[in-house]
Structure 1
Amino acid sequence: MGNEAAVIPQESFAQRLLTGSVKKSYEPAVDMDWDAPLDPDKLFLPPEVISLYGTELWESMSHPERRELSRQELANVLSVGIWFENLLTRLLLRELLRDDPTTRHSHYTLTEMGDECRHMMMFGKLIDRIEARPYWPRLPGRLAIGALALFLRGSMTWVGALVGEEIFDALQRRTLDDPQLQPLVSRAMRIHVTEEARHIGFARDALARRVPTMSRAELAYTRLCVAVAAPLFVYLMTNRHMYERAGLDGRKARRIATNNPYAKQALGTGAANLGAFLDKHGLIGPIGKRIWRWRGLYS
């Protein structure tokens, strides 16, 4: 989609996304069977995307312990998704202040914001349905998330959108048809994948159009933010509190997960297309590549 979008005028591309939204969008409140019982044996994430998969610690765990870890990891992933989509919605709202409200580009921005609001509700309902607690940031975390809106401007609005959307999107695509997975989780991920594909195309198109107009300072700043995004993403995905709620030593489990080659491979698979896109447009410099490789996000 990225290559095709580069040669289509911005308004035509936005109109295509609007048309796609009309043809295929969801309302999670009615498009999911929230009263369906949970399977007492099935996992909440596929084994191969669970952070401890393949480690000695994982092999020592019983099925009920693995199931509980999968439940806590899903709750953490959904919580991070809510934080991110909250931030992204604020960034998109700021973009609208500079855009012409009569354009198709502005209209799709509003459409995406509506999607993100429904996704936040869906994630919140799913955390509640699996009888988990959200992993909500404490005051320092809330202040940091709020401060990001001050730094993510211009090209970084779209880089931030892609880092948050593409890696998560690639991982969740692996959950769609896994027979070991709770059907309710599969349904939520299918809804999110469908609508997120349009969001990713929108962000890629906007970023690709901006790159040729970047100053050296903006390019350097963008590369710096891209480099920082990798360790931040891994940090959020290996929240030590989720291990503690699963009955494990949180610090030890997080250290094992961070160095787990299977987890790095899963993250690398998820980040491969994004890394290639950023590299193609010169947005991931030598330092960024080293950091992404260190965290398993770049090959």
Structure 2
Amino acid sequence: MTVVNDNPKAATGKPAYDHAGRTAIANRLLKGSSARSYDPVVELDWDAPLEEGKYFLPPKVLSLYGTPLWDQMSEEQRIELSRQEMANVLSVGIWFENLLNRALLIRLMREDPAAATSHYELTEMGDECRHMTMFGKVIERSGARPYMMRRWERWAMLAMPAFMRGTFMWVVTLVGEELFDALQREMRTDPQLQPLVARLMQIHVTEESRHIGFARDGIMRRKPVRGRFETLVAANLHGLGGPAFKRLFTNPQMYKRAGIANPRQAAKIARRNPNFHEVTVKSFEPLSAFLRQAGLMGPVGEYLWRKAGFLP
């Protein structure tokens, strides 16, 4: 079986790509998907009323938590801010899962359609389609509205799949998935959280763990065979995610919709908030450790993540 971009021809004496190991991982994940996959339309109780006084994201992860501005807010205003921040995060999640699906579709045009890896990628796309549906329905059920991309952001997202190949493909996948996954694992059991949101997180964590495992495995199996240029690109370009996520997570529109008088000032306060800095560092910590292990934390990538507040 030949898989384009995952099978660089090894010169004599150099290691070859481990197709057998990659196939075994794909088959294991296919079995796991068959055993534990969820349809959000039936798994979530869409008719249950929202619980009075519960947050849509735990207070401690909200961007203004611990600031003087937070202290001035009433409990109702804080809950409304949590609703808007949740809608913003889920909107960003929809964009990135859309990006991943389009990149996988392009990739599948170069791959063997009978391969187990292709079958798992198709399964992953199905998961992501259900996640986008779930995110959109939770936004609607919460009483919020989604946050839309600007025109230049849409163009950037349309162009990116053409460049997502080899190691860089899987690194971008992890950047889009692991930042959310690390926090969701803690937030899903928070007693202050709306049950509907908690259930969303439980489903998402379960299914994303397979996607993350597949991407990490793809990176590590390419490690012995990837070239210098591939490593240079993959180890540094992911740093652009730092300033992008910093801006997305402190979108002034959230504060405007939450009724804060000066939304741009609120965004500046959030970006300087040491409590929120701790949250962003924690969200990036597992991915940062993995990228270092894989030899993919280049100087430019590290500088950009640190400048954006995702590294201590």
d(CA) in 2 for partners of 1:295, 1:281: 22
Structure 2 residue 144 is the aligned partner of structure 1 residue 136: no
Q: Which residue matches 1:272?
A: 285
TM-score (norm 2): 0.91
Q: Deviations over 1:67-126 (max 9, x none)?
A: 000000000001001000001000111121122111211111010000000000000101
SS of residue paired to 2:159: helix
CA deviations on 1:155-189 (whole Å, 9 max, x unpaired) are 22111100010011111122211111100000011
Secondary structure of 2:224's counterpart equals helix
Q: In structure 2, what is the equivalent of residue 10 of structure 1?
A: 22
Distance 2:303 2:155 in 1: 29
Answering whether residue 62 of structure 2 is matched by residue 41 of structure 1, we say no
Aligned partners of 1:139 and 1:294: how far apart in 2?
Answer: 26
- 8 Å Cα contact 1:226/1:283 also seen in 2: no
TM-superposed deviation, 1:7: 11
Q: How many angstroms apart in 1 are the aligned matches of 2:277 and 2:19?
A: 34
- 1:217 and 2:229 aligned: yes
What letter is aligned with 2:282? T
Note if 1:207 corresponds to 2:250.
no
- TM-score normalised to the size of structure 1? 0.94
Q: How many residues align?
A: 294
2:263 is equivalent to residue 250 of structure 1: yes
Structure 1, 250-259 or 213-222: larger mean CA deviation: 213-222
Q: Are the equivalent residues in 2 in contact too, given 1:58–1:66 (CA < 8 A)?
A: yes
Distance 2:204 2:37 in 1: 10
Matches within 5 A, 1:34-183: 34-183=46-195
SS of 2:109's equivalent?
helix
Partner of 2:5: none
What amino acid sits opposite 2:44 in the alignment? Answer: M
Q: Which amino acid is 1:153 matched to? A: R
One-letter amino acid matched to 1:265: E
Kindly, what percent of the aligned residue pairs are identical?
A: 54
Which amino acid is 2:269 matched to? I
Q: What residue identity is the alignment partner of 1:76?
A: N
Q: Secondary structure at the match of 1:9?
A: helix
Instruction: Specify which of 162, 173, 184 is matched with residue 196 of structure 2.
Output: 184
Counterpart-to-counterpart distance in 1, 2:71 and 2:218: 45
Question: Among residues 242, 247, 251, which one is paired with 1:235 in the alignment?
Answer: 247
SS in structure 2 opposite 1:99?
coil
The 2-side partners of 1:148 and 1:240 are apart by: 25
Instruction: Please list every run of 5 or more consecutive structure 2 residues that lacks an aligned counterpart in the other structure.
Output: 1-17
Alignment partners' CA distance in 2, 1:7 and 1:152:
20
**Residue pair 1:76, 1:242 contacting (<8 A) in 2 also:** yes
Instruction: Flag structure 1 segments of 5+ consecutive residues without an equivalent.
Output: 1-5
Q: In structure 2, how many angstroms separate the alpha carbons of the residues matched to 1:128 and 1:250? A: 23
Partner of 1:3: none
Contact 1:43 1:182 in 2 (8 A): yes
Q: Secondary structure at the match of 1:100?
A: coil
- 1:288 maps to 2:297: no
Code of the residue aligned with 1:275 in structure 2: it is S
Bigger radius of gyration: 2
Quick check: 1:227–1:288 contact (8 Å CA) kept in 2?
yes
Q: How far does the alpha carbon of each residue in 1:191-229 deviate from its partner, in whole angstroms, 9 at most, with x for none?
A: 000000000000001111123222222222222312211
Superposition pairs of residues 19-30 of structure 1, within 5 angstroms: 19-30=31-42
* 1:8, distance to aligned residue in structure 2 (A): 7.8
* CA-atom RMSD in angstroms: 1.5
Q: Describe the SS at the equivalent of 1:98.
A: coil
- Normalized per residue, the structure richer in helix is 1
1:240: Cα distance to partner? 1.0
1:261 maps to which of 256, 274, 295? 274
> Aligned partners of 2:35 and 2:162: how far apart in 1?
35
Higher deviation after alignment, 212-221 or 77-86: 212-221
